Structure 1
C-alpha cells in the first residue's frame, strides 16, 4: 500500500533490543485464582498455545481421551466452535462423539461447552468463568476427567475451542493423556487481522479461503478486502460485479463468518469520485448494498494514494475550494453521507472505516484538521504509523495520531507487504512495535505480501503481538510460526528456519540473516570450517527439503525463485569455504580450480527472477550482505595469498535503483551498470578502493546507458587519495559521458573517485569505472573482441586475456612491471582445462632472458631463483589454440 512502486523503501538502521517477558496485569475482574489442584503458573513463553494467553496454569492431573467422548453443549453454543471441538477430539484419537444434555457415566471423557454446565465445571476445576472478561475473552480448563470451556461471547467460545485444539495431540487411536491446564484469556485490542491492500498480483480465491482459515486459527477477527489491482474496487468502482465474481465474494464472506472473521469490503473511489455528486454517493451505496446482500457487514472507503490537489469535477472546486483543508472537507462530506445514508440505515453494520490521503504521519495539517472536525466521530481512521513502512511504532505516536485525526485509530501496518520490494520475501517477525500500543488502538491490521502462503510466518507473529503484546517476544513467536508451518517435523522446521533466516531482512528487521550472519562471524573468529559448512549445507539443502516435505504447497509455490536462489547461494558459499580451506592448506592448484567455479556459481545464484503482474522479471535477493559478502571475502583472501590486489571495490553515497547495484560498475561488463535511484547532488560521488596504494595508469569512467543517455555526471572532477580523506584533483569534466585520463607512472593512490560539482536533475548510470595500473602487457596473439592484453596482468584473476586466434611462430606475451620486482616465483593462472606445455615461461633479470620451465596446466608456479625480475614472457608454442591467461603474477 501507499507508495510509489518504483522506489525501494529506505532501510532504517535500528538496534531492536530483545523485549523481556513480563508479568501480565489484566483487568481486576479477570484476575486468576489458583485452585488447590494446580501447580504455579507456567511462564507464558513456555505454553504451546499461540497466541500466548494472558494466564496459563498447569494442574497436577491429566485427562485421557477415551474411545467415546460426550459433549455437553449449551443450546446456544456457537456452532463453528462446537464443530471445531468435535473435529479436534477426533484428531486426538476419539472414535465416537456423543452430544448429550448430561455427562456420561463412568470414566468417559466429557467436554462442556458454554452454558451453566461449563460454568459449573470450570468452578469445580478451580478456574474462574467468563464474568469480568472483555469481548472475545474465554476460559478453558482441562482436568479431573473433564474439559470445560466458555466464551464471553460466541467468538470467545470459538477462541477457547482453538486453544483446546492446540492442547490436544494428534493421535490415530484413543488413550492420549493431556496435561491438566487452566487458561483465562482475552485480546489486547478489539480488531486484529489482515488487509489485502497491496499492489501487484491479487491473491487467488483459494488462497483467500486458506488465509481465512489461518486467521481463525490465530484469533484474528478481521480481513479487509482491498487488493489494489481489483478494478471493481478502484478504476471500475461504480460497476457491479459479474455474477461469478460476486459468488466468489459470497463464499469468502461465508467462510469468514464461519471462522469468526469480519469480512470488510473496502471500496476506493478516489481516482474518479466527485465528492459533491449525489449520483456518485448513490453509486457508492448501491455497490455497498450488493455486498450487504451477500452478507458483508463491515465497509471501508479508503482514500489513499490519490491526489487531493486536483479535483475530479469542477463542482467540487466550486463547493469546497482548493488546498488540503478543502480536500479534507470534501472527503468528510462524502464519508458522512455514506455513514448516515447507508451504515446508519443498516442495523448490524459495523462502524465505517476510511484511510485518509495523509495516512503516514502525525503532523497537524489543514487536511487533518478538516477530517478531525467534520468527519462523523464513529468512523475509524486507518493510519500506517510515522512513515509508509514504519520501522517503529510507539504508544506516544498512536496517542498523537488519535489527537491529530480526532478519531479512533486502526493501524494499517505495512508489514510484511513487499509490493515495494518485489525482489524479496519478508519472512522475519513483526518487530519494533512498543508494548502497550494495542491498548491505544481500535485495532491492528497488517498488509501482507503478494505471496499469501509465504506471508503466514510474519502474520503468525502479527497475531501474537495483537492478541497479547505484553507477552510478545518477536524471536520466540517467529520460531513458533516456523514450527507450526513445519507441522512438527524437525527436519522440515530446520530447513524452513534456515530459509526464513536467509529472507529475514526488512525495514522492521534491518539485520539480514541473523543466524547465518552469526555463524559467519563466528567462523571469522575461530576458523571452524566444519561448523560453518554445516550451517551453509543446511541453507543449501533447505529448498529441496521444503519442496519434498512441507505440507503447505502454497508456500513452496510462492517461494519458488527464492528457493532456487537459496540453494544456489548455498552452493556458491560452500565452494567459497572450500576455497578458504585450500588456500589455508597451501593447495594452490585446488584453490585456483575452486576459484574459477565461483563466478559462474554466483551468476547462477543471481539469475533467478520473480515475474510480476506486468511480466517484469525481477532478480530476487537472498541473504544479501551475508553470503555474497562472505564469498567476496573468500575471493579477497585468495587474492592476498596470490599476492594480487583483486578487483577494485566500488562505493557511492547514492542509493541504487532496484538491483542496479554499485558493484556493477566494476564487473567488466559494459552492458550492466550502476544506476542511482535519485539525481546526484553537489558532492555526490562514485569511488573505487584499489585495496593498496599503487601507480595509476589509465582511468576510464563510462557513464550513461542505452535508453538513458543523459544519466551521467554533467559537471564533476576525478580525484585520487592515499587515505580516502585527503583528495587531489586529477581532471575536471563537463557535459561528457565518457572520460579517459592517462597518468604518469609516478602518480600513485589507493582511492579514486568521480565527484559531482553541481546538482543535476538526471540520475547517474555508470557502466564501467576502471583504473589500469602502469604495468604493461605487449605481444600477442592479439586479444579477442571484449578482451585485452592488459587483462593478463591487471591484478584481477577474474578477468582474462583471450586471444583472437592460435599462436603463430615466434609470438609471445610479455609482461613488464612498472618497476623491477623482487620475486621468488612466477605464477601463471589459466582457465581450467588449459593445455600443458603451451608456452615456455621466461624471466628477464639483469637484462637477460632465461627460461624457467613450461606451463603445466591451469595453475603454474615456477621458482625464479631469486633476484629482481624485470619482465615475464610466455613464448607460445606454434599452433597453440587461442591462448587464454587470467593472470601473470610475480610472487
Structure 2
C-alpha cells in the first residue's frame, strides 16, 4: 500500500465540462490577476497528505485545514521531509496539499514543478501562486502573507468540497489596502474591531489604522501612557491583526496641545510609540488634521517658526523629522511613518504644502482625502498632482463609506469614482468606515476588491458578491435592504454622477407612472407591488434569515423603515388602481392605510451624535413617491393636491419631527435639537416649481415663545440654487404674498445670525393661486372645525360628542358656482344627509345623497350653489371629517 492509498481518487470530468473548464471554478474575491482553468476536477477526500516547512505560516495552514475539514477530510498525514515531499508530488493517486512559499517550505517547489507552474519569485508583497490538478494542491506565497492569501483563495474555490483544476497567479495592485477607523461619533466596540480584523484577513486587506476619536490617549491625553487594562485591549487587537496579516497602524494625534519645538513633547511622543512597539505595533502615524495652524500651543513655537501656513508646515516637519530620526530609524522592521497634513483635501499649492514638500523627510507617507473632504471622484491626474504638490508618496484616506456627516443614513453602495491608476500610482488607500461596523463590510469588501485588482473591478458585480458574503442564506433579503440604503456622494467614472438610491425600485416606479398615464397600468402595477411586498417583508425575512445579530442591531431602525415604506407603497398602488377603476371608497380606505404606514416610518428615531434623527432609507425615492401618490389621489378626490415636504438643516428634539410643520395642525410642531447657526434653514419642498401666491409661517410655542429664528430671511427658489427674498425675519409669525407670477419649488426661513434659542415651527404653509377657500360652521362642538374644509385630507375635524337633532356641518364657498359633485372623506363612519343650499327647496336645503360610513361621492348635476351641509343623523357616531370637497365646474 502506498502512502496515499487511503486517499480518494480523482473524479473524472465529463466531456461537456472538459469543453468548458472554467465552469468548474468558483468566483474568487478579490478578483485574481491571473486564473487559468484546466480540464479535470479535484475533490477533497477523507485522508489528505499535508506537506509543510518549518516556517510555513500557521495562519495559512489553519485556513487550509479548515477548508479541508469543511469538505469532509478527517485524517491528515503530515510531511516535512523534502525527500518524502518530492515522492508525494510524483505520486498522484490521492490528494497532497503543499503549503508554504520559498521562504517557508522548499518542498513546495517540487509540487509547482509537477503542476508545471512558475513559483512566486518576483511577485509584489502578498503575491502568491495557487494550483490544483490531479491529486495535487500547492499554495506558495512570495512571503507568508502571500501564502495566507493563497489559502483565502483556496477557501473560496473549494467551498463546495471540490473544484475544477486550475492555476492562479495573483498579487495586489495597491501595496496598502484597508480601513482607517477615523470617524466621529459612537466608536466601534472592542469586539467590533476584532471582527473587522478577521474580515480584513479574509478579504486580503492588509492595513488597519487605529484612530478612534473617542480614545483620549490618542488626542487629549496623548502624552499619558495607557493604563494596563487599556494597553491589554490594544495588545489583543495587535495580535489579532498579526494573525490576519494586517498591519496595525497606531495613529497618535498630538495637534490639540503639542509644542512642536519642545524636547519634552518629542520625548513623550517617542515614549508613547515605544509603549506600542513593545506590544507588537510596527506601523505608526501622526495625524495633524482638524486642528488650527494659526494658533500656537506654546510661545516657543511662535518664536522659533513665526506665523502663517509656512510656519505651521515648518513646525510639523520639524516634529515629524525628529520622530523619524529618534524612533523610526532606530527600530528595524518598522513600517514607514505616516502623517495627515492639516491641509489634506485639495491639490492647490500653498505656503503650508510647499514647506512640507521642502522640509519633511522623504521617508514619510502623506495622507490625502482627494479633492474635497469627501471626494466624489479621484482621478490618476489628481493623484499625480497630489504627489507633486506634497512632494511625498501619498496614502489616500478615503472618506467612504463614513457617515458621520449624514448620521441618519447608511451608505451601503459599492466603492466607485476612483480611476484604476490611482491604486497603481498611490501607496494605497484606507477607507474610513461608518459608525456601524458590520454594515460597513459591504463597502469595505468592494474597496478591497478595487485595490487588489482595479483593472478588472466591476463595482456592481463586486457589490453583489459583498452582499452575498455578508448575507449567506439571507442574501435576497439583504439585497433588498442594501439597495434601499445605497447612495453616497461618490460618482460613477463613466457618468460623473452619484449612484442613486433604490436602483431596483426607481425604474419600477417610473414604469408604473408611465403605464398609468398611458391607461394600461396593470402589468406595471403588479411588478411594482411585487417589489414593494419584498420591502414590506424585509424586516421579518432579514431578521429571520441573517445569522448576524450585530448587523441587525446596527441597522434596526432603517430595516423597520424599509418595511413601513414597503407597506405604504403597496397601499399607494392599491389606492391609485382603485381610483383608476373609479372605486373612490377603496381608494380612500387605502389612502388611510398609506398615511398610517408613512407615519410609522416617520416616527422612527435613531440616536446620533446630533441627537435623535429620523433614519433615511430609500433616500429621495420612497417619500417623494408616496407624496406624489397622495397628491395624485387628492386631486382625483377634488383637492388641490399640493403636498409640501419639510426640509431642515437642523436636528430634531425627541419626536418633534419636521413633518409636523406641514401637517395642517398648529398644535403640533417641529422642534430643533439646537440653536441655528448662520446658513441653517427650515422650509418646504413643493416637489416641483409651480405658481405660488402666499406663505404663512408660525414659529414658537406657548411654553417657549422665543424659539424662533430671530435674525433671518424668508426666501424662495425654483431650482434650489437661485433665491429671492420675500422679507426679513425677526418675529415668530410671518405672512407674505409672493410677487405676481412667481414660481417656487423651495420656500425657507434661513438664519443669518447666531442665537441661543432653538427653533419651533408649528406650521409652514404655502398657498398656490386658485386654491379654494371655505368657511366652516356647525355642531357638534369639537376640535379643528376648520379642518373639515381646509384642502388638507390629513387634518381632521373631530366632534366632541355624538350628534343630536339639528346638528349639522356647513361648508361655505366664497361665491355660488355650478357644482359638479360633493365628495366627503371621513376618518370615522358617520351618518348624515348631504345637502346643498337651494332657495327653492324646503328650508333652503336640498338633499343630494347620504353619507353612511367613511366615503361619499354624490353628483350635484351643475346646481348653482355656494354651500354644502352635512345634516347629522341623531345618535350616529361622533363625526370625524377629514374633508368636505365641493367640486365646482371650471
Is the contact between residue 684 and residue 746 of structure 2 (CA under 8 Å) also seen in structure 1?
yes
Going from structure 1 to structure 2, the CA distance change for 1:49 and 1:686 (only over 3 Å counts) comes to closer
Correspondence for 1:80: 59
Q: What is the alpha-carbon distance in structure 1 between the residues aligned to residue 614 and residue 721 of structure 2? A: 36
The TM-score with structure 2 as length reference comes to: 0.86
Q: What is the alpha-carbon distance in structure 1 between the residues aligned to residue 453 and residue 115 of structure 2? A: 25
Alignment partner of 1:520 is 2:509: yes
Deviation digits for residues 397-421 of structure 1 (CA, Å, limit 9, x no counterpart): 1111111111110111111111111
Correspondence for 2:10: none
Matches within 5 A, 1:196-211: 196-211=181-196
CA RMSD of aligned residues (A): 3.5
Q: Please state how far the C-alpha of 1:816 moved relative to its aligned partner.
A: 2.2
Correspondence for 1:147: 137
Q: Please state how far the C-alpha of 1:755 moved relative to its aligned partner.
A: 8.1
Alignment partner of 1:638 is 2:633: yes
Alignment partner of 1:130 is 2:126: no
Q: What is the alpha-carbon distance in structure 2 between the residues aligned to residue 593 and residue 38 of structure 1? A: 61
Q: What is the alpha-carbon distance in structure 1 between the residues aligned to residue 745 and residue 20 of structure 2? A: 67
Alignment partner of 1:217 is 2:202: yes
Which deviates more from structure 2 when the two are superposed, residues 588-597 or residues 379-388? 588-597
Correspondence for 1:768: 763
Gaps of 5+ in 2: 1-16, 491-497, 516-520
Q: Please state how far the C-alpha of 1:266 moved relative to its aligned partner.
A: 0.8
Q: What is the alpha-carbon distance in structure 2 between the residues aligned to residue 649 and residue 714 of structure 1? A: 21
Is the contact between residue 272 and residue 312 of structure 1 (CA under 8 Å) also seen in structure 2?
yes
Gaps of 5+ in 1: 1-36, 171-175
Q: What is the alpha-carbon distance in structure 2 between the residues aligned to residue 884 and residue 756 of structure 1? A: 34
Q: Please state how far the C-alpha of 1:663 moved relative to its aligned partner.
A: 6.0
Matches within 5 A, 1:499-514: 499-508=481-490, 509-514=498-503
Matches within 5 A, 1:314-713: 314-487=299-472, 489=473, 492-508=474-490, 509-526=498-515, 527=521, 528-612=524-608, 616-649=611-644, 656-658=649-651, 665-670=661-666, 671-673=668-670, 679=678, 699-703=695-699, 706=704, 709=707, 711=709
Going from structure 1 to structure 2, the CA distance change for 1:197 and 1:43 (only over 3 Å counts) comes to farther
Q: Please state how far the C-alpha of 1:783 moved relative to its aligned partner.
A: 6.1
Higher relative contact order (CA 8 A, sep 6+): 1
3-state SS in 2 of match to 1:814: strand
3-state SS in 1 of match to 2:504: helix
Q: What is the alpha-carbon distance in structure 1 between the residues aligned to residue 394 and residue 722 of structure 2? A: 53
Q: Please state how far the C-alpha of 1:111 moved relative to its aligned partner.
A: 0.9
Going from structure 1 to structure 2, the CA distance change for 1:424 and 1:735 (only over 3 Å counts) comes to closer
Going from structure 1 to structure 2, the CA distance change for 1:112 and 1:124 (only over 3 Å counts) comes to same
Q: Please state how far the C-alpha of 1:540 moved relative to its aligned partner.
A: 1.8
Is the contact between residue 21 and residue 39 of structure 2 (CA under 8 Å) also seen in structure 1?
no
Alignment partner of 1:843 is 2:836: yes
3-state SS in 2 of match to 1:135: coil
Deviation digits for residues 524-565 of structure 1 (CA, Å, limit 9, x no counterpart): 234322211111111222222221221222211221211122
Q: What is the alpha-carbon distance in structure 2 between the residues aligned to residue 284 and residue 779 of structure 1? A: 77
Q: What is the alpha-carbon distance in structure 1 between the residues aligned to residue 885 and residue 484 of structure 2? A: 38
Is the contact between residue 174 and residue 452 of structure 2 (CA under 8 Å) also seen in structure 1?
yes
Correspondence for 1:20: none
Going from structure 1 to structure 2, the CA distance change for 1:39 and 1:143 (only over 3 Å counts) comes to farther
Correspondence for 2:4: none
Going from structure 1 to structure 2, the CA distance change for 1:693 and 1:159 (only over 3 Å counts) comes to closer
Q: What is the alpha-carbon distance in structure 1 between the residues aligned to residue 690 and residue 370 of structure 2? A: 47
Q: What is the alpha-carbon distance in structure 1 between the residues aligned to residue 678 and residue 53 of structure 2? A: 68
Q: Please state how far the C-alpha of 1:809 moved relative to its aligned partner.
A: 4.7
Alignment partner of 1:108 is 2:94: yes
Q: What is the alpha-carbon distance in structure 2 between the residues aligned to residue 298 and residue 276 of structure 1? A: 24
Is the contact between residue 564 and residue 597 of structure 2 (CA under 8 Å) also seen in structure 1?
yes
Which deviates more from structure 2 when the two are superposed, residues 468-477 or residues 507-516? 507-516
Going from structure 1 to structure 2, the CA distance change for 1:286 and 1:635 (only over 3 Å counts) comes to same
Count of aligned pairs: 830
Q: Please state how far the C-alpha of 1:851 moved relative to its aligned partner.
A: 1.5
Is the contact between residue 41 and residue 57 of structure 1 (CA under 8 Å) also seen in structure 2?
no
Deviation digits for residues 324-365 of structure 1 (CA, Å, limit 9, x no counterpart): 111111111111111111111111111111111111111111
Q: What is the alpha-carbon distance in structure 2 between the residues aligned to residue 369 and residue 260 of structure 1? A: 36
Going from structure 1 to structure 2, the CA distance change for 1:179 and 1:349 (only over 3 Å counts) comes to same
Matches within 5 A, 1:725-804: 735-740=730-735, 767-770=762-765, 773=771, 775-781=773-779, 784-785=782-783, 787-789=784-786, 791-804=787-800
Q: Please state how far the C-alpha of 1:128 moved relative to its aligned partner.
A: 2.2
Deviation digits for residues 134-191 of structure 1 (CA, Å, limit 9, x no counterpart): 2211111111221112111111111111111111124xxxxx4320111111111111
Deviation digits for residues 390-439 of structure 1 (CA, Å, limit 9, x no counterpart): 11111011111111111110111111111111111111111111121111
Going from structure 1 to structure 2, the CA distance change for 1:716 and 1:239 (only over 3 Å counts) comes to closer
Is the contact between residue 663 and residue 674 of structure 1 (CA under 8 Å) also seen in structure 2?
no
Is the contact between residue 797 and residue 829 of structure 1 (CA under 8 Å) also seen in structure 2?
yes
3-state SS in 2 of match to 1:180: strand
Q: What is the alpha-carbon distance in structure 1 between the residues aligned to residue 486 and residue 276 of structure 2? A: 38
Q: Please state how far the C-alpha of 1:641 moved relative to its aligned partner.
A: 1.8
Which deviates more from structure 2 when the two are superposed, residues 879-888 or residues 450-459? 879-888
Deviation digits for residues 54-82 of structure 1 (CA, Å, limit 9, x no counterpart): 11111011112121100112332222112
Is the contact between residue 394 and residue 434 of structure 1 (CA under 8 Å) also seen in structure 2?
yes
Correspondence for 1:270: 255
Correspondence for 2:240: 255
Q: What is the alpha-carbon distance in structure 2 between the residues aligned to residue 199 and residue 470 of structure 1? A: 33
3-state SS in 2 of match to 1:233: coil
Q: Please state how far the C-alpha of 1:575 moved relative to its aligned partner.
A: 1.7
Is the contact between residue 656 and residue 674 of structure 1 (CA under 8 Å) also seen in structure 2?
no
Q: Please state how far the C-alpha of 1:777 moved relative to its aligned partner.
A: 2.2
Correspondence for 1:156: 146
Going from structure 1 to structure 2, the CA distance change for 1:177 and 1:47 (only over 3 Å counts) comes to closer
Q: Please state how far the C-alpha of 1:610 moved relative to its aligned partner.
A: 2.1
